[in-house]
């Protein structure tokens, strides 16, 4: 679709002030920690000091006798789950693992694993009582990395665990393992493809465990009422999945739980699992009072899902004229203490940017003594992009070809079949590469010693899933929009704008509200870049419902058949010049038949996927290894930019997080499995002093699956930065970095090694 072919929108593509902006900047918005209830108790948790140990005995007697203590819970207070597998909105989960992760039962699997919780009159009493709980541990040897965990003599985390094969069957071996799942995807004839190659590059890569780094820690408050109904107030990316997780874990009816989503101070995938709600609910049941727990920052780092560290072996072949012939890879992801890493996404993303005629990719989900890993912005894709994009850069160096020309020649396009099976529809990989090739940044010569320029591309699937909304027209011509998707990056406004565009009114005339689980129909999580896409589709449905109701009402008023009445651009028009504006018809609704109330519900298909290509300039200090980002430009296929400022913000935020992942961020454990940098002082995230302004290029290749061509934009910008920076470092000082983060000591070590 060319620019001339695209629809002309009145609201979409503009930049209205966000609907929740005033509350956020004035401090009126309420977050998880702001909940205050009459009679509320305060909770604290006891966490394991060991990375791997059996729990032989827990003695809570002294703690229960301390002043102000009202309730104590341990893992034994949670119902036994067996091996039930339950679909929780973002994949199937073994409830036994989920329950044990919330409160350990027989074993702890990482330092910081929750063992018990206390509710007391104030936080000081709760914390003192938690320290008084006596736990008798039998300390076991930990295993802290995937390769060590796969060794024959590795300590075993779960004695019952056997590997699930690529066919979905469980291996019958009597020997327990730490490898929970093995995936395998194949396309074509890999050996034939490598035989056709003129150049073959094969390397191993390692990426560290990193955390999402959201500003607001996890917080939850629960009141288990005398009638058996439970209300939970929490910061979450999915109120409905919190409801379901809590219901399953406590064995209570789903209808007995109401989850009130508070404003959320960041999530990036890390606030999908429920860590606190089942615990505060049980404390409330035991005490008969509301209970609130706010995690400490150390607990957030120690015990909430970071993204998995990884080991990747990648082999890629190409001809001298720049055509990829074959790819072969093995990817091992940390699952943490329990099975369930994002390995499926990793194997799907590895070759997705390119036409790979012959490919094979194996994925391994490996348990280690670290917190259970979870999603972090395009989960699994950043790790594999680091590997393939650096290998492509090396191939281009060997054949003497420009990296952008190589990517253009091999870019995935409509009709390309991925190695893991699916065939692409309308996508914009090629367009993002062209945007970088044509941008002022790339065309400007880079001068100076120890400076380099790198490029890299990345891919994320983007999700559809289920969403529902309701809308009601007010007599003053405004519309109240009720939706259930937690607003992390401005989705209230992006949804309001889509409803406004559908109805032909202004964005300011739509008043969006994120409701609790009793106030709106089911909605899947805010994740997978799905809200503006899928909930937007539900909003468009609701808008069309309002249109139809207004047409019917106008026909009644004018005493004509509905087929003679049409809704056009914010007004209803009929025969003989009859016309009523949206505001006029809204004002008459109560006297002509009653209120206009509409609904929209979708089970949206998957999106076409999002692609991004980035270019970065760096300067490397060869005496310290420090890498300075000089300039950064991100091009991304955004489908149709509903609110360009929000799209740019997502691209910039993702790029900055990718820069942090590339250069500094990592979990640092000692040999016993004790996390040594569980604070923002020691866990080094980028600040405004570390990055320049991120320049953005919005490439719009509309997704035909959406009425307005929307594509999710929040995930893929984190994928290219590590590889782009690695490629820039190589151009600057001639070293190839194959381990993240590329921190000053690692870069300096490689520089010194090259010089020697």
Helix H, strand E, coil C: the string for 537-566 is HHHHHHHHHHHHHHHHHHHHHHCCCHHHCE
User: Residue 1: pLDDT above 70?
Assistant: no
- The encoded tokens of residue 483 equal 């939706």
Radius of gyration of the chain (CA): 27
Asked if 604 and 533 count as a contact pair (C-beta separation under 8 A), the reply is: yes
CB atoms within 10 A of CB 174: 6
Would you identify the CATH topology of the domain 32-140+215-298? Answer: Aldehyde Oxidoreductase; domain 3 (3.90.1170)
Q: Give the tens place of pLDDT for each residue, 126-135.
A: 999 999 999 9
- The encoded tokens of residue 466 equal 């289920």
pLDDT of 21 reads 92
pLDDT band at 229 (very low <50, low <70, confident <90, very high): very high
**One fold for 32-140+215-298 and 464-604:** no
Reduced to 3 states (helix: H, G, I; strand: E, B; else coil), residue 721 is helix
Distance from C-alpha of 38 to C-alpha of 530, rounded to nearest angstrom? 37
Residue partners of 248: CB distance under 8 A and separation at least 6? 81, 84, 86, 88, 95, 98
Q: Give the tens place of pLDDT for each residue, 274-302.
A: 999 999 999 999 999 999 999 999 999 99
pLDDT of 745 reads 97
From the list 112, 96, 122, 99, the residue with the least C-alpha distance to 39 is 122
Burial of 169 (0-12, 13-18, 19+ CB in 10 A): exposed
Q: Which ranges in 32-172 belong to alpha helices (H)?
A: 61-64, 95-102, 123-132, 146-149
Q: Which residues make beta-bridge pairs with 54? A: 107, 138
Instruction: Give the CA dihedral 85, 87, 91, 97, nearest 10 degrees.
Output: -40
For residues 75 and 7, which has the higher predicted lDDT (pLDDT)? 75
Q: Are strands 359-367 and 324-336 parallel, antiparallel or unpaired?
A: parallel
What is the arithmetic mean of pLDDT over 551-568? 97
Residue partners of 134: CB distance under 8 A and separation at least 6? 57, 58, 59, 62
pLDDT band at 521 (very low <50, low <70, confident <90, very high): very high
Q: Give the tens place of pLDDT for each residue, 443-461.
A: 999 999 999 999 999 999 9
pLDDT of 412 reads 98
User: Residue 3: pLDDT above 70?
Assistant: no
pLDDT of 6 reads 67
Q: Give the tens place of pLDDT for each residue, 369-403.
A: 999 999 999 999 999 999 999 999 999 999 999 99
- The encoded tokens of residue 402 equal 């420009």
User: Residue 756: pLDDT above 80?
Assistant: no
Domain chopping of the chain, boundaries? 32-140+215-298, 310-462+607-755, 464-604
CB atoms within 10 A of CB 577: 6
User: Residue 221: pLDDT above 50?
Assistant: yes
Q: Give the tens place of pLDDT for each residue, 584-632.
A: 999 999 999 999 999 999 999 889 999 999 999 999 999 999 999 999 9
- Selecting from 1.25.40.10, 3.30.365.10, 4.10.410.60, 1.10.3720.10, what CATH number does the domain 464-604 have? 3.30.365.10
What is the arithmetic mean of pLDDT over 85-102? 89
Q: Give the tens place of pLDDT for each residue, 529-555.
A: 999 999 999 999 999 999 999 999 999
Distance from C-alpha of 352 to C-alpha of 185, rounded to nearest angstrom? 13
Residue 680 phi/psi, 5° resolution? -70, -15
Residue partners of 184: CB distance under 8 A and separation at least 6? 166, 360, 361, 362, 363
From the list 651, 627, 653, the residue with the least C-alpha distance to 740 is 627
Would you identify the CATH topology of the domain 310-462+607-755? Answer: Aldehyde Oxidoreductase; domain 4 (3.30.365)
Residue partners of 647: CB distance under 8 A and separation at least 6? 638, 641, 696, 698, 713
Q: What b/e string do you get for 373-404 counting C-beta neighbours within 10 Å, with b at 16 or more?
A: bbbbbbbbbbbbbbbbbbbbbbbbbeeebebb
What is the arithmetic mean of pLDDT over 179-196? 98
User: Residue 2: pLDDT above 50?
Assistant: no
Q: Give the tens place of pLDDT for each residue, 666-688.
A: 999 999 999 999 999 999 999 99
Give the start-end residues of each E strand in 564-626: 566-568, 571-573, 579-581, 597-604, 610-620
Q: Are strands 107-108 and 53-59 parallel, antiparallel or unpaired?
A: antiparallel
User: Residue 732: pLDDT above 50?
Assistant: yes
What is the arithmetic mean of pLDDT over 456-481? 98
User: Residue 4: pLDDT above 50?
Assistant: no
């Amino acid at each position: 679709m060319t620019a001339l072919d695209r629809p002309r929108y009145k609201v979409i593509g503009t930049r209205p002030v966000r609907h929740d902006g005033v509350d956020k900047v004035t401090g009126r918005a309420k977050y998880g920690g702001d909940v205050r209830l009459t009679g509320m108790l305060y909770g604290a948790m006891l966490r394991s000091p060991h990375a791997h140990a059996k729990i032989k005995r827990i003695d809570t007697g002294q703690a229960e006798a301390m002043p102000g203590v009202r309730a104590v819970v341990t893992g034994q207070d949670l119902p036994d789950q067996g091996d039930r597998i339950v679909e929780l909105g973002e994949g199937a989960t073994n409830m036994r693992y989920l329950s044990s992760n919330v409160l350990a039962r027989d074993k702890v699997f990482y330092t910081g694993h929750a063992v018990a919780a206390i509710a007391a009159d104030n936080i000081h009493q709760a914390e003192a009582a938690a320290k008084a709980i006596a736990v008798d541990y039998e300390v076991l040897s930990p295993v802290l990395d995937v390769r060590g965990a796969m060794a024959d003599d590795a300590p075993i985390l779960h004695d019952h665990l056997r590997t699930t094969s690529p066919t979905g069957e469980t291996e019958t071996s009597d020997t327990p393992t730490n490898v929970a799942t093995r995936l395998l995807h194949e396309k074509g004839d890999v050996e034939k493809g490598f035989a056709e190659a003129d150049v073959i590059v094969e390397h191993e890569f390692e990426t560290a465990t990193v955390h999402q780094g959201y500003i607001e820690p996890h917080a939850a408050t629960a009141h288990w009422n005398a009638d058996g109904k439970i209300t939970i107030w929490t910061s979450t990316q999915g109120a409905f999945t919190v409801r379901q997780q809590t219901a399953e874990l406590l064995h209570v009816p789903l209808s007995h739980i109401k989850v009130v989503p508070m404003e959320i101070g960041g999530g990036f995938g890390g606030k999908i699992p429920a860590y606190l709600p089942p615990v505060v609910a049980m404390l409330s049941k035991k005490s008969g009072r509301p209970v609130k727990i706010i995690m400490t920052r150390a607990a957030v780092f120690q015990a909430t899902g970071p993204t998995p560290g990884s080991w990747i072996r990648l082999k890629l072949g190409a001809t001298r004229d720049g055509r990829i012939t074959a790819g072969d890879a093995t990817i091992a992801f940390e699952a943490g203490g329990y099975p369930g890493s994002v390995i499926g996404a990793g194997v799907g993303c590895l070759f997705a940017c390119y036409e790979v005629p012959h490919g094979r990719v194996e994925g391994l989900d490996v348990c280690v003594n670290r917190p259970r890993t979870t999603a972090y912005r395009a989960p699994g894709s950043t790790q594999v992009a680091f590997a393939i994009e650096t290998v492509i850069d090396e191939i281009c160096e060997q054949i003497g070809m420009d990296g952008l020309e190589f990517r253009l020649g091999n870019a995935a396009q409509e009709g390309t079949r991925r190695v893991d099976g699916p065939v692409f529809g309308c996508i914009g990989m090629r367009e993002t590469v062209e945007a970088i090739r044509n941008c002022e940044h790339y065309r400007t010569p880079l001068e100076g010693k120890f400076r380099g320029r790198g490029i890299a591309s990345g891919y994320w699937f983007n999700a559809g899933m289920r969403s529902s909304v309701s809308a009601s027209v007010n007599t003053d011509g405004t519309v109240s929009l009720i939706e259930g998707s937690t607003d992390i990056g401005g989705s209230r406004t992006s949804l309001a704008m889509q409803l406004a565009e559908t109805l032909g009114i202004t964005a300011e005339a739509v008043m969006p509200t994120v409701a609790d689980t009793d106030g709106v129909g089911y909605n899947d999580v805010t994740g997978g870049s799905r809200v503006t896409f899928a909930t937007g589709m539900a909003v468009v449905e609701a808008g069309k419902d309002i249109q139809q109701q207004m047409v019917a009402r106008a026909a009644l008023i004018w005493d004509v058949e509905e087929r003679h009445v049409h809704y056009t651009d914010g007004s209803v028009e009929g025969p003989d010049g009859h016309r009523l504006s949206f505001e006029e018809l809204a004002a008459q609704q109560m006297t002509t038949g009653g209120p206009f109330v509409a609904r929209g519900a979708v089970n949206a298909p998957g999106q076409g996927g999002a692609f991004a290509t980035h270019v970065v300039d760096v300067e490397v200090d060869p005496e310290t290894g420090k890498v300075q980002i000089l300039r950064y430009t991100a091009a991304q296929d955004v489908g149709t930019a509903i609110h360009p400022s929000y799209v740019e913000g997502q691209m910039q935020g993702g790029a900055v997080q990718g820069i942090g992942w590339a250069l500094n961020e990592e979990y640092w454990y000692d040999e016993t499995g004790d996390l040594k940098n569980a604070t923002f002082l020691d866990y080094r995230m980028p600040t405004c002093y570390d990055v320049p302004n991120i320049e953005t290029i919005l490439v719009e290749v509309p997704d035909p699956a959406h009425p307005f061509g929307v594509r999710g934009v929040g995930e893929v910008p984190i994928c290219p930065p590590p590889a782009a920076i690695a490629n820039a470092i190589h151009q600057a000082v001639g070293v190839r970095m194959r381990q993240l983060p590329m921190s000053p000591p690692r870069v300096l070590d490689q520089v010194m090694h090259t010089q020697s």
